[in-house]
Amino acid sequence: MSTAESEAQRYADDHTSPESPLLGRLVRETHLQTLMPRMLSGHFQGRLLSMISHMVRPRRVLELGTFTGYSALCLAEGLAADGELHTVEQNPELRSRVARYVDEAGLDGRVHLHIGDAEQLIPTLAETWDLVFIDADKIRNRVYYELVLPQVRPGGFILIDNVLWSGKVLPSYPMKPADKDGQAVRAFNDFVQQDERVENVFLPLRDGLFLVRKL
């Protein structure tokens, strides 16, 4: 990230509503106790997810890739009065931390954590989604997308994270054949752009966020 980009991000952070004390505590704990804290959505993106959720007022939200639960808590802020959020995480070691924060947020019974492989779990969730957030295995982005799209209501939204992949998807970047994740993200981005089932906007925020609306 260039100096100007870093300064712009700091400015954006300074002019974005603050996260709650609970989310701030989760950020600190994630950085102190996990090996890859950069996987956390963080303040700026978290407020964006919350804002989108508030605009949609979803009854049913699906998240793929819970990590420590930060993005799930942000998305849950905009749930309709009878809304629920289902989040899928492959790592069982994260279960207790996520459950603890969900409970502290007063969302027990409304946020449901599923531990296991998303590809196997998605077909078992008999819901119609208003909003889906995909932030899991980048190589399987298209697999997840194809699985959830039929379950999304017409006019519903899918968000896909990390679609800039640190700028490696840009045409000017000499992508290495060994970068399987980067190759997959680039191919997925091109696929969504050509998908006539949806309308899409590519947001170059943070590490890139695809905003997709099902037609």
Both ends of the chain: CA-CA distance in Å? 35
- Say whether 97 sits in a helix, a strand or coil: helix
Mean pLDDT of 148-152: 98
Mean pLDDT of 145-160: 98
Strand partners, 60: 84
pLDDT mean across residues, the chain: 96
pLDDT in tens, 101-131: 999 999 999 999 999 999 999 999 989 999 9
Mean pLDDT of 53-68: 98
Is residue 22 within 8 Å of residue 73, measured between CB atoms? Answer: yes
pLDDT in tens, 62-99: 999 999 999 999 999 999 999 999 999 999 999 999 99
Confidence of residue 215 (pLDDT cuts 50, 70, 90): very high
Confidence of residue 1 (pLDDT cuts 50, 70, 90): low
Backbone angles phi, psi at 55, to 5 degrees: -70, -40
* Model pLDDT, residue 211: 98
Domain limits for position 122: 3-214
Strand partners, 201: 211
What single letter denotes the amino acid at residue 13? Answer: D
User: Residue 14 to residues 11, 48, 72, 73: CA-CA distances in angstroms?
Assistant: 5, 14, 23, 21
The domain total for the chain is: 1
CATH for 44: 3.40.50.150
User: Residue 166 to residues 62, 97, 173: CA-CA distances in angstroms?
Assistant: 25, 28, 10
User: Residue 98 to residues 67, 93, 102, 174: CA-CA distances in angstroms?
Assistant: 8, 10, 6, 38
* Model pLDDT, residue 175: 87
Q: Whose CA is closest to 22, among 92, 94, 83, 107?
A: 107
Is residue 188 within 8 Å of residue 208, measured between CB atoms? Answer: no
Mean pLDDT of 168-192: 93
Cα atoms found within 13 Å of the Cα of residue 20, Cβ hemisphere only: 12
* Model pLDDT, residue 130: 98
Question: Rounded CA gap, 105 and 39, in Å?
Answer: 21
* Dihedral angle over CA of 63, 175, 44, 92, nearest 10: 40
